[in-house]
Structure 1
Amino acid sequence: MAALALKARPRQWVTKLHRWSGLLLALFLLIAALTGALMAFRWEVDAWLNPELFAVQPGAQHAPQTEIIQQVEARFPDARVGTLVYPVRPDRALRISLMDKHAPAGMGHGMGHGQGGNLQFNQVFVDPYSGHILGQRNTRQISFDRPGLMPFLVRLHFSLWLDQAGVWWMGGVAVVWLLTSFLGLALSWPRAWRRWRQGWRDMLALRTGQGSYKLHYDLHRAASVATLPLMLVLAFTSVYLNLPDLVKPAVGWFSPLSVPPKVEGLPKAEAPISPEQALAAAAHILPDGRVSSLGPDARRGLYNLRVYVPGDVSPSGNHMLALGMADGAPVGLRRTDTGSAGDVLLAWMFPLHSGLAFGVVGQALVLGLGLVLTAVCWTGLVVWWRKQRGERRLAARQREAAAQGGLNPCTARLRTDP
């Protein structure tokens, strides 16, 4: 094995910090790793599990969106349409989130799932060509059937199904994960770190044939060291996605962040423009853009649109556009292509975390990292358990020998590493 750079008492303290911080977050990291791996191809898996909700037969032209909205709100009288998410593929359904009609004004979507309030369903799937409602589901209800599986995993991943408290908790887990990753690197850092053969290659080597404990230890260290740069990206993006108010000031210290335009509510339009007219207005403002979602907000007199422009790192777009319902005039536009370096960095957070920034290759990489992180957590638990059991056995033998006068229990020292 390679000689390690960190020695003596500093190593003992770092080892204790790494061990106990790892034990503190092991269960939560296991949940995040497994659910994150399953979510790497979230919408592809969801569509495969629920073809009756997602699959449509492409037609010659789309049904009027005004009629679709009226039909959905008539079908669910206690709801109002929150957001229409347009399919990228022509054979996919239009996805519509529902809001509680009786909820206070300004109630948000809550982690992107649609804040359903007391509604029985908060997500509807519609054939965009015929306007036929294909089905509905409640993404805020624990369900293990096919329609409810992916929404269940998403909320478990981000918040453990504990709402905002869970979001904060998983953000704290991500902070500890980020810090303990650096502690693990310090423990693995070889003295000859400039030399591949005498340093890093031995860090990645596995000692086979020397017992299960050493093999698990080597697997834990090798997998952690080999994937550390990518794991740090996942950890940091996790911190931002759960605790953005913690990360933004830090990023803003290095690069000033653009202040999003504050869009005030407009007087209620007597004759609001149609969704099609709002899309046409968006095409005039951002001619190279593709609208990925549209949210009619009659209470505030606005259409809120997310637009993808070539060069955006998020497949759903990084441009946010607000249009007045009365005339389609722009009242707010947030774009990152002309923003600061800090704006660009924050725009990368979710696409990096999900792998969507690099398409299928990125999603496959996130899937693999989720499985590797699962293995790292498991091997870490095994190493800790075996070490604890070995220490208890050795302590028992020492006490027995001391009772017989053959050994002073204070003379034996246990090594930190195998």
Structure 2
Amino acid sequence: MRDFETHFPYKRVLVLGLAKSGFAAASTLLAHGRSVRVSDLNASNQDELVTILEQKGAEVKLGAQEIDLLDGMDVLIKNPGIRYENLIVQTAMERNIPVLTEVELAGLLHKGTLVGITGSNGKTTTTTLAYEMLKESQVRTYVAGNIGTAASEVADKTTEDDRLVLELSSFQLQGIDQFRPHIAVMLNIFEAHLDYHHSLENYEQAKANIFRNQDAGDYLVYNAEDERLQHIVKDAKATLVPFSGSRQLANGAWYDETHVYFKDEAVAAIEDILLVGGHQLENILAAVAAAKLAGATNDGIQHVLKTFSGVEHRLQYIKHLNGRAFYNDSKATNILATSKALSSFEQPTILLAGGLDRGNTFETLVPFMEHVKALVVFGETAEKLRETAYLAGIELIEYVNDVKEAAEAAYRLSESGDVILLSPACASWDQYRTFEERGNMFVEAVHTLE
């Protein structure tokens, strides 16, 4: 635990971007006696959040963002989605004004045990599992960050006995200074968000920030089978806690044909695990390690693994209809996520994919398309995915306008015994505001089928 007043010496703060994290940061800082200026390009004076912040004493500036926003400011807290090429951000850095993200505040405000979880894939599932395992163990635990609630909003309410489990994106981690989780988790590193970070090295460095401030009294849980992570964690000062699905580990989490283990202790039976997909065992191992280090009991862990069927939009089972099983994996915004989803099924599969074109191709999906009998494509990458289907020997391909039409087309092309899987392998922003919006449209469409 750190004293916020000592470690956050800035008195005048510019909050750039009035989204969920911006509102939480501004509100929290106002409550701690800071002078806060908020700027947002798209909000209006009629927005409830604007009214609330003004009533609390914030100076709110809407519309075009001019350099004079920085006048008199000691620090800039930016929305994670705002790029560092932004003129205000660039100018702040040139003026040696620190540029942070809202999770920095959470790290300074939280009074108990902080668990931070990051990775290219599996963050939400692992975060949810660890949170539920601690909660079922009667440990008072909160969950926040990239998963839903803004981190600082929750952290400011915690006590020394509480646990706070945070899902952390590379966007959030790039903007930290003193942030230090007692337990950090790195699931995997896969080439992602290069349009934001510009290079794999920059992306890796942002992810590695999760353990940058740790020492030997802290823990770093990591995937011992991920070659990139093995290289990255060599710089860590924390106590390393590996997990592996391939070998027994005396100092970490692993599994065999019968049980999940933490070190030499059998924690849960494999046959009791409800989650679909072999790749989910990696997420389970990471969650078990983090939860055990944070005080979870085996009974609490076992209860969660027996009852947890997945998070919304992450290989989420929807329903069976006339012998077809429908799954919503809208959160699969990159190739690795979709490859893991495809690896979860041995049944004939109709894959629904497409979305924002970030310049990559999809050839690396081909080895995972053995059971794909048909492909329904949409969005900017539809043509690239069609070319990938040809490489995989898939001849049944259909173009549609959106995921509603995709659900209808997939059902028409399917037979009893098939899996119908929305796993786009792309971000949603060419057609939808969020992957949640995309997934919800798909789920609604499935429930209208007869």
**Greater share of helix residues, 1 or 2?**
1
**Greater share of strand residues, 1 or 2?**
2
TM over 0.5: no
**TM (normalized to structure 2)?**
0.24
**TM (normalized to structure 1)?**
0.25
